[in-house]
Amino acid sequence: METAEKYNHRLIEPKWQKRWEEANLYRAIDFDKRPKKYILFEFPYPSGERLHVGHTFSFTGTDVLARFSRMNGFNVLLPIGWDAFGLPAENYAIKTGINPMITTVKNIANSKIQAKHLALSLDWEREISTTEPAYYRWTQWIFLQWYKKGLAKKVEMPINWCPRCKIGLANEEVVAGSCERCGAEVTRKRIKQWVVKITDYADRLMEGLSRTDFIEKVKAAQINWIGKSEGAEIEFAIKGRESKIKVFTTRPDTLYGATFMVLSPEHEIVDQINNDEVKHYVEKSLKKSDLERTDLAKEKTGVFSGLMAVNPVTGKEIPIWISDFVLSTYGTGAIMSVPAHDDRDFAFAKKFGLPIVPVIAAKKEWDFTKAPYLETEKGTSINSEEWNGLPTGEAIKKAVQWLEEKKIGQKTVSYHLRDWIFSRQHYWGEPIPIILCSKCGEVPVPESDLPVELPKVENYQPTETGESPLAGIEGWVKTVCPQCGGPARRETDTMPNWAGSDWYFLRYLDPRNSKAPVDLKKAKYWLPVDIYVGGDEHNTLHLLYSRFTYQFLWDQGFVPKEHPEPYYKRLSHGVILGSDGQRMSKSRGNVINPDVIWEAFGVDALRTYLMFMGPFEGTMTWSQESMEGCYRFIKRVWGLVIGKCELEAEKKAGSGNLNLKRKLHQTIKKVGEDIARMKFNTAVAAMMEFVNVWQEENSELAKEDTGKFLQILAPFAPYLAEELWERLGNNFSIHATNWPEYDKVLIREEMVTVVVQVNGKLREKLTIDNEKREAKDEIEKLAKESERVRKYLADKKIRKVIFVPGRLINFVV
RNA sequence: GGCCAGGUGGCGAAAUGGCAGACGCGUAGGUCUCAAAAACCUAUGUUUCGAAAGAAACUUGAGGGUUCAACUCCCUCCCUGGCCACCA
C-alpha cells in the first residue's frame, strides 16, 4: 500500500514566504476606499538575543487579528519597526568597542528574518528604526517644538550619582542605595537637566481617556499615575519672621488637629536656618538616594528647626520640624501634621513626643494615644469649634470657605505626576538639538539643520564629569552659534529611550516624508490606532508620554484635528513563563527559543499552540507536551486534506455529509466571533473539535467545504492553509480571500436537548425536535412522563414551572 | 498601605444567570508491530453502593445573601499574582 505524503514544514515554509514577499500581499494602501484598520504592536528592541517567545506570542495574536480583519474587507495596516536606541547596545559597545550602529544593523537583520519566518502579515515598506537619522530628525524636531512653546527647560535637579563610576544612575540602577556596577554608596548630585512639562497636560491626559476604549486596568493605571487630588493650600505664619509656609492638604477640615508642621529637607526655609543640628540632618538626608528615602520600613527621623508656626484657626503656636519623609516633589514640600488621623504623622508625633488632638469622631472604641484613627472619610468633626458635628464633606467646604474669606488659603489641586526628565548622560540616544553660545545663551538648532547626527566616538564610557561621552568629541561639540555666528558648543545630553517610541506610530503612516513627521491627510485617513497591543509595563510611562506628545502636536496643528487622541483601543498581552512556572531567564535556563521550536515542529504548530495556550491577556506556562499536541493537530489536518485530494482523483467532488457540513458552519461562526473578541484559545479549540468530527465522519467533506475550513484556519496556520489551498486546486492566495459566510439555517441543529430540573436539580434530559422548541405544553407532558422525573414529582405539588425554550424546564415543588 | 487582575479536575483551561469541566496535555487500557516510536481507538472530577449494567451524593478559595436556577450577581473574609507606593 502506498503511504500518503507526510507533512513537512521545512518544504512548504520557504516556498510560501518567497511567494508572499513577491506578491507584496500585505501592503496597506493609503486612502483606499475599504474601511481602514490600524493594528499596532509595540515595536521590539532588537537585542542580540533576537526575538524571544514572548514577542512571537504577542505578535502572532496581533497578526491573527490583522489577517482576520483583512479577510473581512478591511484595509489593514500592520507595521513594524525597531526601537533601537538604549542602554543594552551602549553597554555592549563599552565592553567591545564596537559602534552600536553596527550591532544594531546586525540585530535588526536577524530579527527581520525571524519576523518573516513567523509569517507576520506586515507591510515591510513602512519599516522604520528610531536610530536612523531620517527618523530621529523628527524626534529632535518635536523637541524643538516643545522648546519653542516653553515646555522644555533646563532645570537644576538632584540625580543619583555614583562617586566612584562618576556617572548619573537611573533609579533602577541603584540597588539598596548602592551603585549596581561597583557597589559604591550612591549620593545625590544636583545637575542641570532638560525637563519637559508634561504636568501642564495632566488634566487633558485624564479627560482624553474618555475618548478611548482602553481596558479598565489601563485607564486606572493612567489615572493613578497622574494622581489628581483636590484639596487646599494653607499659609502658616512663622513666629518672628515675615515669610510664611504654604502647605497642601486634602483635609482642610482637620486644621484644628494640626499640632505641628514638617518641612522636607529641600524646603527653601530650611536654607535660612543657622543651626548645626539642622545642617547636619539636611546634609545627611540629601545624600540619601531616593530608594533609601522612600524605604517604608525605616523609622522616622527628623530634627526640630527651632522655629514656631501659628495654627491659623486655633491661634496656637506649633513647632516646625524637618524630616525626609516629606517629599519636596509633591505638594508644596511642607505639611501640616494631624497625628490623630494619619499614620506617618502619628509615628512622628510618638517618636518626638508631640501633642495629638483628635478632630474626627471615632465610630468604634479608640485610644488616640495608642494609634491614629484612619477611617475618616465619612466622619464627623469634633474639637473643631464652629465645624463640630459637620460630616466630612460639609466640613471641608466650610473650612475652604473660611480660609478664602481670611485670605490665608484656597482650593487647589495637586498631582502625583511629575515633569519628565528628558536628559540622559549617555551616548546611544538622540542628541538634544540645542547650542550653547557664550553671547546668546541657549539657542535651538534651526529646523533646517536637523538632524543633529550622532557622531562616531572611540570610547562609549561616560566622562569624569558625568557628562555624556559626546562631550569628549571636541570636533563635534565645537560649533558656531546659529544666531550670532560666534563660537558655541553643542548640548551633549541625549534623549531618553521614550523619545523615539513616543510617536513612532505616526511615522508608519508616512515613513519617507522629509517635510514633516507625518502628512496630515494620511494621518487623517489612518488615525486613530484602532488596536494597540502591548505589555503592562508600558501602561503608564510609555502610553502617557506618547499621548502627551500627540496631544501637544494636536494643539500645534501637526496632526489632524479630527483625532484628539492617538490610540482608540489598548489591549495588554499576557506573559509566557518557562516550563518551571518562572519568568524566562538565561540564568534559570528555562528560556524557550522560538527558532528551535519552529525548526522542529514548524511555524504553524507554534503559532497555533501560542494562540491555544490560554487567554491572550493571561499569564501562561510553557508546556512542551501541549506544544506537541498542537503539532499533532496540524499533522491531522494535513492528513485529512491530503487524503481528500487523493480520494478526489478517483471519486470527484461529493456533496459531503450533512452533519459535518453543519458542524463546519457552526465552526465558521464560532471562530469568527472568537477572533473578533480576541478569544484565540477557544477559536483553536473549536477548530480542533471540528477536525475530530471530521475524522470520525470519515472524510466526507466536499472540496468546497474543505476550502472553507482552510480559510478559517489560515490566520493561525498561514503556511499550511496556503499549501493545502493550492493542492485543492485553488488560486493564490488564500490570504487574499474573503472570510467564508456561514449558513444561518444550516447551523440550527435538528434536535435539541432540553434539561428537566426539579427544584433546580438536573433529573432528566429530553431530546426533542428543534421545530418544537417552543411547545411548552408538549415538553411539560413529556417531562412528567419520564420515569426519573416522576420519582421526584411523586405526591408533591407543582408550584411553578419555568420554561426556557430549547434549554430547560424546571418544576418547583 | 493604594489600585488592578485572579482563585474551577493530576495540569493548561472552557462556560458571564440555564447540562460545570468544551478543547488540549497527562495517565490507564487497547489496535497495529518481532519490538519500539509514530498514528489510531476507548476510558478518565471526587466519594459511596454494586460482581456488573448502573445508581446516589458531593464538587468552581471560605462563609453568607439574591434567584425557580449562581463559576457567573451582591456582602464579609482568606489566599495568589501584577503595578504603584512616606503623594499629606
More confident position, A585 or A204: A204
DSSP A330: S
Angle (CA) A751-A757-A762 rounded to 5° is: 85
Angle at A75 between CA A74 and CA A78, to 5 degrees: 110
On the question of pLDDT at A2 being above 70, the answer is: no
Instruction: Indicate whether A618 pLDDT > 60.
Output: yes
Tell if A486 CB is < 7 Å from nucleic strand B. no
Q: Is A394 helix (H, G, I), strand (E, B) or coil?
A: helix
In the beta sheet, which residues pair with residue A40? A532
A300-305: average pLDDT: 92
Q: State how far Cα A585 lies from the chain centre.
A: 21
Answer yes or no: is pLDDT of A675 > 50. Answer: yes
> Judging by DSSP bridges, how do beta strands A178-179 and A174-175 pair with one another?
antiparallel
Cα(A796)–Cα(A756) distance, rounded to whole angstroms? 16
The gap from C-alpha A83 to its chain's centroid, in whole angstroms, comes to 16
Q: What SS3 class is residue A361?
A: coil
Strand intervals (E) in A294-425: 303-310, 317-322, 334-337, 409-414, 420-421
Query: In the 711-730 stretch of chain A, whose C-beta falls under 7 Å of nucleic acid strand B?
Result: none
Give the CA diameter of chain A: 108
Q: Which of A148-152, A288-292, A617-621, A772-776 has the lowest mean pLDDT?
A: A288-292
Other beta carbons within 10 Å of A164:
12
A41-82 residue pLDDT tens: 999 998 777 788 999 999 999 999 999 999 999 999 999 999
Cβ of A580 near strand B (distance < 7 A):
no
Cβ–Cβ under 8 Å, residues A85 and A139: no
Do the beta carbons of residue A196 and residue A151 sit within 8 Å? yes
Q: What's the Å distance between residue A343 CA and nucleotide B61 C1'?
A: 32
Q: Is the C-beta atom of A618 closer than 7 angstroms to strand B? A: yes
Give residue A61's pLDDT: 95
ipTM metric: 0.94
Dist. CA A246–CA A758, nearest whole Å: 71
* Spatial contact of A99 and A456, defined as CB atoms under 8 Å apart: yes
What's the whole-number average pLDDT of chain A?
A: 89
* Nucleotide with C1' nearest the A808 CA: B18
* CA–CA separation, A173 and A87 (whole Å): 11
pLDDT of res. A1: 34
- Nearest nucleotide by C1' from A231 CA? B88
Q: Is the CB of A673 under 7 A from strand B?
A: no
Contact by Cβ (8 Å): A85, A497:
yes
Let me know the angle formed at the C-alpha of A375 by A413 and A206, rounded to the nearest 5 degrees. Answer: 30
Q: Which residues pair with A765 in a beta bridge?
A: A755
- Name the nucleotide with the smallest C1'–CA separation from A695: B40
pLDDT in tens, A634-658: 999 999 998 776 665 545 445 567 8
Question: Which tens digit of pLDDT belongs to each residue from A81-118?
Answer: 999 998 888 888 888 888 999 999 999 999 999 999 99
Report the distance from CA of residue A3 to the C1' of nucleotide B35 in Å, as an integer: 22
Which of residues 385-414 of A have CB within 7 Å of strand B?
414
Query: CA of A464: how far to CAs of A210, A459, A555, in Å?
Result: 48, 13, 41
Instruction: Determine the Cα–Cα distance for residues A237 and A255; give it in Å rounded to an integer.
Output: 14
Span CA (A763) to C1' (B21), Å: 19
**Strand B reaches within 7 A of the A770 CB:** no
CA atoms within 13 A on the CB side of A138: 28
Within 7 Å: CB of A684 and strand B?
A: yes
Q: Say yes or no: Cβ of A636 under 7 A from any atom of strand B.
A: yes
Torsion of CA A9, A12, A16, A18, to 10 degrees: 100
Instruction: Please check whether strand B approaches the CB of A600 to within 7 Å.
Output: no
User: Can you give the distance from the CA of residue A505 to the C1' of nucleotide B23 in angstroms?
Assistant: 37
Provide the pLDDT for residue A623.
92
pTM: 0.92
Spatial distance from the CA of A695 to the C1' of B84 (Å) = 52
Average pLDDT rounded to a whole number, residues A140-149: 97
Specify the nucleotide whose C1' lies closest to residue A615 (CA).
B13
User: Do A630 and A609 touch, CB atoms closer than 8 A?
Assistant: yes
Q: Give the list of residues 6+ apart from residue A388 with CB closer than 8 angstroms, or none.
A: A381, A382
* SS percent in chain A: helix, strand, coil, step 5: 40, 20, 40
pLDDT in tens, A438-492: 999 999 999 999 899 999 888 887 777 778 889 889 999 999 999 999 999 999 9
Give the pairing type, strands A808-812 and A800-804: antiparallel
Q: Which nucleotide is nearest to A223 (CA to C1')?
A: B3
- Of residues A178 and A263, more confidence is placed in A263
Task: Name the residues in A343-372 having a C-beta closer than 7 Å to nucleic acid strand B.
Answer: 344
- Amino acid identity of A542? H
| CB < 7 A to strand B: residues 9-68, chain A | none
* Helix (H/G/I), strand (E/B), else coil: A619: strand
Q: Which amino acid is at A643?
A: G
* Strand B nucleotides with an atom less than 7 Å from a protein beta carbon: 2-5, 11-15, 18-20, 22-26, 38-41, 56, 68-70, 81-88
- pLDDT for the residue numbered A164: 74
Rounded Cα gap, residues A757 and A759, in angstroms = 6
Instruction: Name the residue among A727, A704, A738, A736 with its Cα closest to residue A638.
Output: A727
Q: A214 CA to B74 C1', in Å?
A: 27
Beta bridge mates, A752: A768
Reduced to 3 states, what is the DSSP secondary structure of residue A381? Answer: strand
A154-190 pLDDT tens trace: 988 877 777 776 667 666 566 656 666 677 777 777 7
Q: What is the DSSP string of A636-660?
A: HHHHHHHHHHHHHHHH------HHH
Chain A 191-230, CB < 7 Å to strand B: 216-217, 220-221, 224-225, 227, 229
Residue–nucleotide distance: A74 CA to B62 C1' (Å): 50
Q: Contact A178/A530 with Cβ under 8 angstroms?
A: no
C-alpha cell at A171: 533609579
Residue–nucleotide distance: A678 CA to B29 C1' (Å): 39
d(CA A417, C1' B87) / Å? 10
